[in-house]
Structure 1
Amino acid sequence: MQEFDMTILGSGPGGYTAAIRAAQLGLKVAIIEKDKLGGVCLNIGCIPTKSLLKDAELVNKLKHINQHGIKAENVSFNFEKIIKRSRDVAAKSEAGVKYLMKKNKITVINGFGKFNKDKTISVYDSANKEIEKVKSKHTIIATGARPRQIGDIVFDEEKILSSTGAMMLKKLPDSMTIVGSGAIGMEFAYFYNALGTKITIVEMLPKILPVEDKEISDVVAKGFKTSGITIHTNTKFEGVEIKNDKVFTKVSGDFSGEIESDVVLLAIGISANIHNIGLEDIGVELYKNGIRVDKDYKTTVDGLYAIGDCALINPEGKPWLAHVASGEAINCVEKIMNLHNHDINYDNIPGCTYCHPQVASVGLTEEKARAQGYELKIGKFPFSANGKSRAAGETTGMVKLIFDAKYGELLGAHIVGAEATELISELVMLKSLEGTAESIIKTIHAHPTLSESILEAAGVAYGEAINI
């Protein structure tokens, strides 16, 4: 049996970040991983999908390159090479995590970890043979999550796809039905539509990107429809059937009937990886879709902690995001080491969707702010009025800022358009500092930049905008 100061179960953004921070603080650390280092995010999630989306962006740019005075003829793409490039990017990311483990002298144990009743962890190989046993003073569970299944429908990853299958298809489908219009569904819709696949999106709620501000969702919906994507909102998924090599997706609601396509992608959320790892045997209390933890990430068992997608501070949930897991990892380790008692403010977590146009937001939507009783000052500035946007030919979208009218504090920030996911961090920082519109207006922004749209949006809210 090996003994460690801290053991982490799972090596995704939460797990490997926790391992590194613990090692930096002088602990003897082990990390147990059943698959590839880096977890879903680096291998079959955040990173490889951004490779796919970049290639889709390039294809789209080439379609409209004539407006820049450039002539491009007989442009083609190789779908297999696009998929391969994303896998190469994932492999390099995994290699990077391996290097970080070695650099920080972290012991990596490959295998499936399961808790024993004495809180030790047995590690099993693919043949279910015990290959190692680990004892630890502190253990952090960071097992992440997997794509959520609907009923008894099984992902065969050929016709019925999860996000994993959608990023590794061997052949470009002529048509695809996507159930769910959150970030995953929207990103794959953009990717495959750019390559010529006929896309139909099914969303049970009244708008796509349900967690985003309505005006932002409307901009994306308009752009998607213009690009040829069919969107059915207020439409419920009822089932799926494969007949004659085609997939028939049954739906009801505003649109009822069957949607025929080559493949269907079910992108309706995730399920936490909390079962079959011995948690029930040692008395860890579970919610329906996560491990119950307190604000210090402690489970109901002493010495055991949980972070990331598998952990819930309350049963209502939290954002399922890699950067949340990384932030919780550092916070958890530092609390274990009694470095501070700082709690993460989950209202200040940015959300990003990397379709085109991009979407990024932090804080309250206009709808939620009004529902909470705030009197608001709202500033909206379109990218069509921004010089850098016009020069780049990227005029779709806007910046929308929501302020508390009484104190001027930023309550919510919403961006749709080019580089939205890069622009949002300025506003996340401002909101974290409880900043106001004046903080933005009195800060000189470089010219010409897309970020001037943030300055102008704040100005609009208070009647001080210059360029609109």
Structure 2
Amino acid sequence: MAEIACDVCVIGAGPGGYVAAIRASQLGLKTVIVEREHLGGVCLNWGCIPTKALLRTAEIYGYFQHAKAFGLKAENVGFDLEAVVERSRKVAGQLSKGVGGLMKKNKIQVIDGAARLAKSTNGAGAPLVKVKTKNGGEETVRARHVILATGARARTLPKAGLEPDGKFVWTAKEAMVPDAMPKRLLVVGSGAIGIEFASFYRSLGAEVTVVEMLDRILPAEDEEISKFAEKQFKKQGMTILTGATVEKLEKNKQSAIAAVKKKDGKTEKVEADRVIVAIGITGNTDGLGLEELGVKVEKGHVVVNEWLETGVKGLYAIGDLVGPPWLAHKASHEGVICVEKIAGLNTVHPLDVSKVPGCTYSNPQVASVGLTEAEAKEKGYKVRVGRFPFVGNGKAIALGEPEGLVKTVFDDKTGELLGAHMIGAEVTELIQGFGVARTLEATEEDLFHAVFPHPTLSEMMHESALDAFGRVVHI
């Protein structure tokens, strides 16, 4: 069997892998990509994209419930769960096919199969890539550089009975293709994934209980934003238990019963038709042959340096596989950095994760970039904090979306924008303005002099910066 020779071999065709492959091809490097399941990875097929399709349905359904407030009449509005899921799957399928088209356009050879690494036969250079193809064959790829982009999978808690079974206990994958609409849903974990599913199912009428072991939901967000979010979710009818853990889960023929230990030490029984486990993810390191090569793995993630190098010659790793933040856009950016470093470009810079925006597409949406107020203070900054409420913005009121907040954190000494935190309608679209500001190392003066169009939600970004320095206009 002949070997396939190339400059770069990427293992995994998710947002990190396929973007790395495209950039490598753009730079004139002969590129091969190996994917064992679907082009586009979890993000396009079972994560970012199909969940947003589901949440869009929930958003529109929510508008129907409040049609009267907009002067409209909408009676006996319902939903077809099967059709909702079908639309989500079609959206995912369309984008996955699009990635295939991008591979052809950029002349990237795609191998459908599962890859495993082996030591180079001559003892030098990058590891060999051995692929068991979907058609039962085998391929060997000899590349000068190998990039691991195998992503991650959901963590589980089998000791507590929270092992996904596809029936009562779901991971995000099962939650995207429900066999039935649960009347009662228990969500374990309140990060972005857990909260998005809690929001989706609550919007469609399920009784939702969220259990979070830490003292607040969305624990990676600024504390003020977390508290605002919890207030809004409770107003929608969610039950939220923080400082709580599921100690045991028992199942009967119709439901699951969780023993939840609350922060006061008491145990509460929570019965649910379905349970979603969303307690984080761990890297897909199994079956790659990393141990034999001596690749360092810590806490389920491959250890790399600032250039995504593993310590094994010619072997790199990017994306969820190397740890947080577990975001598709972070993976894509790392893929570009990795390839441009390989190609010897002198314009490449290591990734500063404090400049990576994070988004949660719940109702209300949550978005942030940079340091929280607490983190900035812990780092020794004397801070100036600005806030602007949605209720003070004309566009938000016109949209019927007066509940929300924009918060900015500045260095008092230099005026540098250290962080921005937002909750409310469309903040996942607004946050990139602050992301660009962070990348450009913008100060308060830069934001003061920027002209924001009226009437838009973006005006609140301007007002929040003004508020931090005692110059706010509209409150």
TM-score under structure 1 length normalisation = 0.97
Q: Mapping of 1:70-89 within 5 angstroms?
A: 70-89=72-91
Shift, 1:117, TM fit: 2.7
Amino acid at match of 2:34: I
Partner residue in 1 for 2:368: 361
- The 3-state SS of whatever aligns with 1:277 is coil
* 8 A contact 2:20–2:336 mirrored in 1: yes
* 8 A contact 1:235–1:253 mirrored in 2: yes
- The 3-state SS of whatever aligns with 1:224 is helix
**Equivalent residue in structure 2 for 1:233, among 236, 242, 248:** 242
What are the superposed Cα offsets for residues 179-200 of structure 1, whole Å, 9 maximum, x if unpaired? 0000000000010001111100
**Equivalent residue in structure 2 for 1:333, among 339, 358, 368:** 339
What are the superposed Cα offsets for residues 245-276 of structure 1, whole Å, 9 maximum, x if unpaired? 21112221326232100010000000100111
% same residue: 47
Partner residue in 1 for 2:130: 122
**Equivalent residue in structure 1 for 2:101, among 92, 99, 102:** 99
Shift, 1:381, TM fit: 0.5
Amino acid at match of 1:19: A
Distance 1:369 1:284 in 2: 34
**Equivalent residue in structure 1 for 2:224, among 196, 215, 218:** 215
* 8 A contact 2:241–2:262 mirrored in 1: no
Partner residue in 2 for 1:319: 325
Amino acid at match of 2:338: C
What are the superposed Cα offsets for residues 267-321 of structure 1, whole Å, 9 maximum, x if unpaired? 000010011111111221211221111111111210111001112xxxxx43010
Distance 1:369 1:155 in 2: 38
Q: 2:431 matched to 1:420?
A: no
Shift, 1:130, TM fit: 4.5
Q: 2:296 matched to 1:296?
A: no
* 8 A contact 1:147–1:271 mirrored in 2: yes
Q: 2:405 matched to 1:403?
A: no
- The 3-state SS of whatever aligns with 1:258 is strand
Unaligned runs of 5+ in 1: 312-316
Distance 1:358 1:75, change over 3 A: same
Q: Mapping of 1:44-63 within 5 angstroms?
A: 44-63=46-65
Aligned residues: 462
Shift, 1:432, TM fit: 1.5
* Alignment root-mean-square deviation, CA: 1.2
Shift, 1:126, TM fit: 5.4
Partner residue in 1 for 2:123: none
Amino acid at match of 1:203: E
Shift, 1:415, TM fit: 0.6
Distance 2:296 2:465 in 1: 46
Partner residue in 1 for 2:142: 135
Q: 2:178 matched to 1:169?
A: yes
Q: 2:447 matched to 1:445?
A: no
Amino acid at match of 1:325: A
* 8 A contact 1:158–1:169 mirrored in 2: no
Q: 2:451 matched to 1:433?
A: no
* 8 A contact 2:112–2:134 mirrored in 1: no
Shift, 1:122, TM fit: 1.4
Unaligned runs of 5+ in 2: 121-126
TM-score under structure 2 length normalisation = 0.95
Shift, 1:373, TM fit: 2.2
Partner residue in 2 for 1:314: none
Distance 1:360 1:22 in 2: 31
Shift, 1:65, TM fit: 1.1
- The 3-state SS of whatever aligns with 2:415 is coil
Distance 1:194 1:283 in 2: 48
